[in-house]
Chains A and B, each alone.
Chain A
């Protein structure tokens, strides 16, 4: 029997090269990290390397039957793309230099239009990966609107794969080992999420030669953003947020409103604080190095430690759900009656509190696709005066009408601050946008707020007592 011909195929998020002698592999691919897999009697490499593999094969004399690319060309039914602005055109041109690159643009400057223009141009099976389900559906709507294509959905308990599909990072990293050969172009929206330890498999297990990353905030606090270059490509174009301010974006101001706990809440807060502190002091009498981590570790063995831990969580809940926040919220609703408003809560429970107090919709994880769409379009068309949300809305969901955002709790990261701010800065008319931040004075929440404002977007914060 003749020796079988070398064969290159996609296999569970990797590439397999069968029937290829080691010498030939070394000669053809040189630097590429092929690994011999005894379990499969074949060479194996990350699907991520497919573009490089193909390039080397084209130059080499190794004749190889390549079955990897299962993607097809796509005919867009329509072309309703807007005319791109000069900086958007510059972004597309920069991407085209390598066709594997990231584009950094602030929220509200038309990243999506740039991506759609690139998709139109490439006209190949495309997967768009976004961080949350809302954004996934938003991409689906935009693709339908602009290119007339009804994209498949992978995620949110739907598994409908079409040549052009939308998905979330979590679904992508789970399913890419089966889908990695179906898309020629992959778009990573808010691509700073990609370099997570497991999530990066969404990029690694895809064979897509063409890759586009989009983000407003490429930095990660863990420093892993440097890996984006390998997973997507280098940053080809960057537009700083300050350049966008006042021109493309509406102007904005940030107003911080300190509130105080009610006497009962303050009493409860203090009692809980004392409980936690006195437990720690008591323990440190005998163990001077007794730490918070020790307490958490011991909460299983020791009911007292468990009670201290519960007290700590209860204390956080007090500040998160402080009643005065609802009172200030009423005042802000009065002040901005007639302006569509978004309230960002620090927890689902608080978002529901707001929803039940003011009878405005809240967007939480349990909301189905239809309800989300109904609520978001309802806010835009004025059916709803306001809505409450938790982190579900943290990233660029389009809300063109919103001019007032109120943050009543949340974590300290600057990224979240930028994203929240970015959302109310959509280009629409000349009205100024306002971001309110309601924080409890003299608590941890105030410290978080201070850290949040270190982000440059928050410069110019005003304090106001109501």
Chain B
């Protein structure tokens, strides 16, 4: 991620427009990106400062390039690099030896006289000679642990220039979110991924269903209810790449500028062309689900239509998104959760969740292998009406239950 100092954004009528490099408006940038990548790919052994100067030189004649943009590229490239950070403290050790040795000659004077006879150049040469090297060589390593003097070991980021530019665009949008006080996402699918990553970023959610079946997910943090706070802006920024990888969403964030009385807003949709470095969410959690959905097909059976992860059950900060929702033409609905091959802790958590949403029409399908008690542990008390399956969940069994449950 970028730092606040590298953020670039335009403000138009209360809207924040993070810096965005487009294919037409910034046609030259693809070539710049490739050149920057070449500097890092061929840069092993060079210091961070040298690499950064190389990147600066790429933009020497470019009219449209703020200093911050150059800084941002350097940061993204550095983040994808491994530097020799001198973790074993060789530079510190060298300094200790050199400074201790030189202490006896303090002060090192430019020119010796009767009072002070230790000349800078001579002392340095002597110290170097004692170590069997030159002063230039010592000088080169004396501060090798300072960040700008770290030397590049390997660079393994970014498939091509386009990937670097894509990451830059996402990174600038992330940086704009550092000032965010709340974020609202209208989602039509991928709820599970969106909510899971929001939780990973330690955000709190408020969930509401819109008239059109979409969900309105509002994100902020614990203290947000006490006062408007930018404290959770960084969490929202961390969450953004996961959101960008999802489909069918629209996002609105409220931003508060430091020391300003007004608010700004940042708006974004899944169709705005941002590209995440994260892969899109997996369609299915497991083979069992995938096979079941494929066998069921797109047509209603006995009046029941199948939809994947289409409903979010929520109570406070607990959420439960069953794998499938069955919707009957006559308005009945049933939720199906498949429990495959998992650990005892997973099953325990799952049963707790089910207890929390007691009263919802949830049907469980459990792999038979889970019903056998292993290592003498107590058998799990599955709810009445649970469907068991061996390797594949049978449609017939489910339809049977759907008929009985009402």
Partner of A361 from B99, B146, B222 at Cβ < 8 Å: B99
Given contacts A197-B258, A327-B110, A352-B143, contact A357 B120 (CB under 8 A): yes
Partner of A39 from B65, B95, B105, B225 at Cβ < 8 Å: B225
Task: Confirm or deny: B328 has a beta carbon within 8 angstroms of a beta carbon on chain A.
Answer: no
Least CB distance from A259 to B in Å reads: 15
Contact A300 B102, beta carbon cutoff 8 Å: no
Task: Confirm or deny: B8 has a beta carbon within 8 angstroms of a beta carbon on chain A.
Answer: yes
Closest to A348 in B: B146
Contact A35 B63, beta carbon cutoff 8 Å: no
Contact B109 A330, beta carbon cutoff 8 Å: yes
CA distance in complex: A299, B147 (Å): 26
CA distance in complex: A356, B92 (Å): 14
Given contacts A37-B225, A359-B124, contact A303 B61 (CB under 8 A): yes
Interface residues of B in 75-134 (CB under 8 A from A): 89, 92, 95-96, 98-100, 102-103, 105-110, 115-116, 120, 123-124, 127
Interface residues of A in 194-225 (CB under 8 A from B): 197-198, 201, 204-205
CA distance in complex: A459, B199 (Å): 57
One digit per residue, 1 when the CB lies within 8 angstroms of any chain B CB and 0 when it does not, for chain A 25-64 equals 0000000010101111100111000000000000000000
CA distance in complex: A28, B148 (Å): 58
Task: Confirm or deny: A400 has a beta carbon within 8 angstroms of a beta carbon on chain B.
Answer: no
Task: Confirm or deny: A302 has a beta carbon within 8 angstroms of a beta carbon on chain B.
Answer: yes
One digit per residue, 1 when the CB lies within 8 angstroms of any chain B CB and 0 when it does not, for chain A 324-356 equals 000100100110010000000000100010001
Report which residue of B68, B100, B143, B222 has the largest number of chain A beta carbons within 10 angstroms of its beta carbon: B222
Contact B123 A359, beta carbon cutoff 8 Å: yes
Given contacts A302-B63, A337-B106, A366-B145, contact A13 B223 (CB under 8 A): yes
Task: Confirm or deny: B167 has a beta carbon within 8 angstroms of a beta carbon on chain A.
Answer: no
Given contacts A35-B225, A40-B317, contact A201 B67 (CB under 8 A): no
Please give, as numbers and ranges, the residues of chain B lying within 8 Å of A385 by CB-CB distance.
103, 106-107
Least CB distance from A444 to B in Å reads: 21
Given contacts A300-B67, A360-B102, contact A45 B8 (CB under 8 A): no
Partner of A374 from B96, B105, B106, B205 at Cβ < 8 Å: B96
Contact B63 A303, beta carbon cutoff 8 Å: yes
CA distance in complex: A359, B143 (Å): 12
Please give, as numbers and ranges, the residues of chain B lying within 8 Å of A348 by CB-CB distance.
146
Partner of B316 from A33, A41, A309, A361 at Cβ < 8 Å: A41
Task: Confirm or deny: A177 has a beta carbon within 8 angstroms of a beta carbon on chain B.
Answer: yes
Partner of B8 from A35, A300, A361 at Cβ < 8 Å: A300
Please give, as numbers and ranges, the residues of chain A lying within 8 Å of B124 by CB-CB distance.
359
Please give, as numbers and ranges, the residues of chain A lying within 8 Å of B61 by CB-CB distance.
303
Contact B204 A39, beta carbon cutoff 8 Å: yes
CA distance in complex: A358, B206 (Å): 62
Closest to A11 in B: B222
Given contacts A197-B258, A358-B108, contact A371 B99 (CB under 8 A): no
CA distance in complex: A227, B115 (Å): 56
Task: Confirm or deny: A266 has a beta carbon within 8 angstroms of a beta carbon on chain B.
Answer: no
Interface residues of B in 47-81 (CB under 8 A from A): 61-69
CA distance in complex: A46, B223 (Å): 8
Least CB distance from B277 to A in Å reads: 25
Report which residue of A33, A37, A44, A366 has the largest number of chain B beta carbons within 10 angstroms of its beta carbon: A366
Contact A367 B92, beta carbon cutoff 8 Å: yes
Task: Confirm or deny: B349 has a beta carbon within 8 angstroms of a beta carbon on chain A.
Answer: no
CA distance in complex: A214, B69 (Å): 41
Please give, as numbers and ranges, the residues of chain B lying within 8 Å of A306 by CB-CB distance.
67
Task: Confirm or deny: A383 has a beta carbon within 8 angstroms of a beta carbon on chain B.
Answer: yes
Given contacts A35-B225, A44-B226, contact A368 B106 (CB under 8 A): no
Closest to B109 in A: A330
Contact A301 B223, beta carbon cutoff 8 Å: no
Task: Confirm or deny: A273 has a beta carbon within 8 angstroms of a beta carbon on chain B.
Answer: no
Task: Confirm or deny: B139 has a beta carbon within 8 angstroms of a beta carbon on chain A.
Answer: yes
CA distance in complex: A11, B139 (Å): 52
Please give, as numbers and ranges, the residues of chain B lying within 8 Å of A41 by CB-CB distance.
316
CA distance in complex: A177, B116 (Å): 57
One digit per residue, 1 when the CB lies within 8 angstroms of any chain A CB and 0 when it does not, for chain B 293-334 equals 000000000000000000000001100000000000000000
Contact B316 A40, beta carbon cutoff 8 Å: yes
CA distance in complex: A370, B316 (Å): 48
Interface residues of B in 236-275 (CB under 8 A from A): 258
Interface residues of A in 282-299 (CB under 8 A from B): 299
Q: How large is the interface on B (under 10, 10 to 19, 20 to 34, 35 or more residues)?
A: 35 or more
Please give, as numbers and ranges, the residues of chain B lying within 8 Å of A368 by CB-CB distance.
89, 92
Partner of A366 from B115, B147, B226, B258 at Cβ < 8 Å: B147
Given contacts A333-B106, A384-B99, A384-B103, contact A366 B146 (CB under 8 A): yes
Contact B64 A201, beta carbon cutoff 8 Å: no
CA distance in complex: A12, B226 (Å): 13
Partner of A300 from B69, B106, B107, B205 at Cβ < 8 Å: B69
Interface residues of A in 354-393 (CB under 8 A from B): 356-361, 364, 366-368, 370-371, 374, 378, 383-386
CA distance in complex: A370, B69 (Å): 37
Please give, as numbers and ranges, the residues of chain A lying within 8 Å of B99 by CB-CB distance.
359-361, 384
Contact A371 B96, beta carbon cutoff 8 Å: yes
Task: Confirm or deny: A419 has a beta carbon within 8 angstroms of a beta carbon on chain B.
Answer: no
Contact B103 A383, beta carbon cutoff 8 Å: yes
CA distance in complex: A168, B275 (Å): 38
Task: Confirm or deny: B162 has a beta carbon within 8 angstroms of a beta carbon on chain A.
Answer: no
Task: Confirm or deny: A14 has a beta carbon within 8 angstroms of a beta carbon on chain B.
Answer: yes
Report which residue of A39, A309, A364 has the largest number of chain B beta carbons within 10 angstroms of its beta carbon: A39
Contact B92 A334, beta carbon cutoff 8 Å: no
Given contacts A39-B204, A303-B61, A334-B115, contact A383 B100 (CB under 8 A): yes
Least CB distance from A379 to B in Å reads: 10
Given contacts A13-B223, A177-B222, contact A359 B67 (CB under 8 A): no
CA distance in complex: A327, B127 (Å): 22
CA distance in complex: A299, B124 (Å): 43
Least CB distance from B67 to A in Å reads: 6
Please give, as numbers and ranges, the residues of chain A lying within 8 Å of B95 by CB-CB distance.
361, 371
Least CB distance from B26 to A in Å reads: 13
Task: Confirm or deny: B35 has a beta carbon within 8 angstroms of a beta carbon on chain A.
Answer: no
Please give, as numbers and ranges, the residues of chain B lying within 8 Å of A370 by CB-CB distance.
89, 92
Contact B67 A333, beta carbon cutoff 8 Å: no
Please give, as numbers and ranges, the residues of chain A lying within 8 Å of B63 by CB-CB distance.
301-303
Task: Confirm or deny: B221 has a beta carbon within 8 angstroms of a beta carbon on chain A.
Answer: yes
CA distance in complex: A45, B63 (Å): 51
Task: Confirm or deny: B142 has a beta carbon within 8 angstroms of a beta carbon on chain A.
Answer: yes
Closest to B229 in A: A201
Least CB distance from B107 to A in Å reads: 4
Closest to A358 in B: B108
Contact A364 B146, beta carbon cutoff 8 Å: yes
Contact A358 B8, beta carbon cutoff 8 Å: no
Partner of A356 from B67, B127, B139, B204 at Cβ < 8 Å: B139
Task: Confirm or deny: B230 has a beta carbon within 8 angstroms of a beta carbon on chain A.
Answer: yes
Closest to B315 in A: A41
Please give, as numbers and ranges, the residues of chain B lying within 8 Å of A205 by CB-CB distance.
223
Please give, as numbers and ranges, the residues of chain A lying within 8 Å of B204 by CB-CB distance.
39-40
3 nearest A-B residue pairs (beta carbon): A300-B66, A359-B102, A333-B107
What are 13 sample pairs from A and B whose C-beta atoms fall under 8 A apart? Answer: A35-B225, A197-B258, A300-B64, A302-B63, A309-B67, A333-B107, A334-B107, A358-B102, A358-B108, A358-B120, A359-B102, A361-B95, A383-B103
Q: Which residues of A contact B (CB under 8 A)?
A: 11-14, 33, 35, 37-41, 44-46, 177, 197-198, 201, 204-205, 299-303, 306, 309, 327, 330, 333-334, 337, 348, 352, 356-361, 364, 366-368, 370-371, 374, 378, 383-386
Known A306-B67, A334-B109, A384-B100; further 16 A-B contacts with Cβ < 8 A: A12-B223, A44-B222, A204-B223, A300-B64, A302-B63, A327-B110, A334-B107, A337-B107, A356-B139, A357-B120, A358-B120, A359-B98, A359-B124, A359-B127, A360-B106, A371-B96
